[in-house]
Copies of this chain bind each other. A is one copy, B any other.
Amino acid sequence: MTESEPIREPEDRAEAARVDAPAGLSRRGLLGLAVGGGVAGLAVGLGAGLTGGVALGRARAAEDAQNSYDFFGVHQAGITTPVQDHLHFASFDMMPRTDRDDLISLLQDWSYAASRLTQGLEVSASGAVGGSPEAPPDDTGEALGLPSAGLTITIGFGPSLFENEDGDRYGIAAQRPAGLERLPAFLGDDLDPEMSHGDLCVQACADDPQVAVHAIRNLSRIAFGRARLRWSQLGFGKTSRTTAAQATPRNLFGFKDGTANILADDTAALDEHVWVSAADDPGWLAGGSYLVARRIAMLIETWDRVRLSEQATIIGRDKGEGAPLSGGDEFTEPDFHGGAIDAHSHVRLAHPTQNDGVRILRRGYNYVDGNNTLGRLDAGLFFLSYQRDPAQFITLQRRLATDRMNEYIRHVGSGIWAVPAGAKPGSYVGAELFA
């Protein structure tokens, strides 16, 4: 199962030939054809003449028009998109002996599949049931009949993709952004290398976990022979918000989390803190961002025995409303001068006014992965943040070295990726890197 396994397209797709629509997936070069008219044209074209799996896809797309996001655009979706309810995050490593063409074809095939999946379609025109009965289906089928459920697929490039112990495998070492390197060790780090790092990442967010899981599973399958899963993480109960209309969710400490997040309509803040600008270096990443993932285990049974007033002191906010301890409501600016908020509270140490104005866009999820042999839930926060420069995260995380909360958390996983701008219609994520 280590060799390349392209998803097969049946030879005799007479229906496909009758419409101006993609012929399906392949390892090389079909992408230009596939999305020549942009994804809107693609969906319409598909609806016009095909049957079987595509008909199912069409029905789904129609039902779900209110809750689907274009894969193509100025920025990748899944960053400022209103945070969906569920996450399946996957880190991939490229396979040994793959070359630049393999990497480009993988990004093309992923982009093509993602452009369909995010519209509630199957990964190809023949999909789960419309292909030859004598071939394995292109699509694994568990999302048949489900809407797109707000699915976004966001792809990033890790430091090791540019250069690793095997050298400059893909001829892109010179294009590595200076700031894109493994995060420095932070005080208290307890990282599991098997839950950290990776050449590539795919963040799939959706309002239905089966839709997010289906996306990661099928992208993993498409990658066979070129890349394979290194680690993956499911999450739920979004712990951040990206629009003012979303209520601030609670993390597993029971506190509201994300009150002061950067919101999608604050374009000035996004330009200042999240999007890499055309003037930044490197140019190929303009319109992109840097993604940091941290798997933060919470010692919730220990936390649960802390008295309420102490919990509030640690966070710097009250538990019910989420108001700063200096007074007001959830959205009142904290006052760090009156002494009501502890100097080592989380809210103070993380606050922009205490960090030269540094802000990040948070997009994390809660997770529970069973329990350990002592009967403690293996639970915590899968922290995701987007920023214009990795230095923003590093500054904040160093500042949190004296956070009172550290007694109750442990960083056990870590990764960083450069997230390119959105793909242009007809192109693929990261095309500028290979131009």
**A residues lining the B interface (CB < 8 Å):** 1, 5, 52-53, 56, 86, 88, 128-129, 131-137, 139-145, 194, 208-210, 213, 216-217, 220-221, 228-234, 236-237, 247, 250-255, 300-301, 304-309, 311-312, 318-320, 366, 368-371, 373-377, 379
Contact = CB atoms under 8 A, between A and B. Distances in A.
B133 A254 contact: no
A414 to B, nearest CB: 16
B375 A251 contact: no
A142 B251 contact: yes
A116 to B, nearest CB: 16
Contacts of A145: 247, 250
B375 A142 contact: no
A3 to B, nearest CB: 12
B320 A56 contact: yes
Contact of A319 (B129, B300, B369): B129
B56 A375 contact: no
Contacts of A253: 141-142
Given A133-B308, A209-B236, A230-B375, 20 more contacts: A1-B301, A128-B320, A131-B308, A132-B308, A133-B309, A141-B255, A142-B253, A143-B250, A144-B320, A145-B250, A209-B237, A210-B237, A210-B366, A213-B366, A220-B375, A221-B301, A231-B371, A234-B234, A234-B368, A369-B369
A240 to B, nearest CB: 14
A221 B304 CA distance: 8
Contact of A368 (B213, B231, B307): B213
Nearest to A88: B368
Given A134-B309, A369-B369, A370-B369, A254 B140 contact: yes
A165 B254 CA distance: 39
A139 B311 CA distance: 13
A217 to B, nearest CB: 6
Given A236-B210, A375-B228, A137 B308 contact: yes
Q: Which of A220, A251, A255 has the most CB of B within 10 A?
A: A220
Contact of A250 (B144, B209, B254): B144
A254 B130 CA distance: 14
Contacts of A88: 368
B373 A194 contact: yes
A369 B229 CA distance: 13
6 contacts: A141-B253, A142-B237, A213-B379, A217-B377, A234-B369, A369-B369
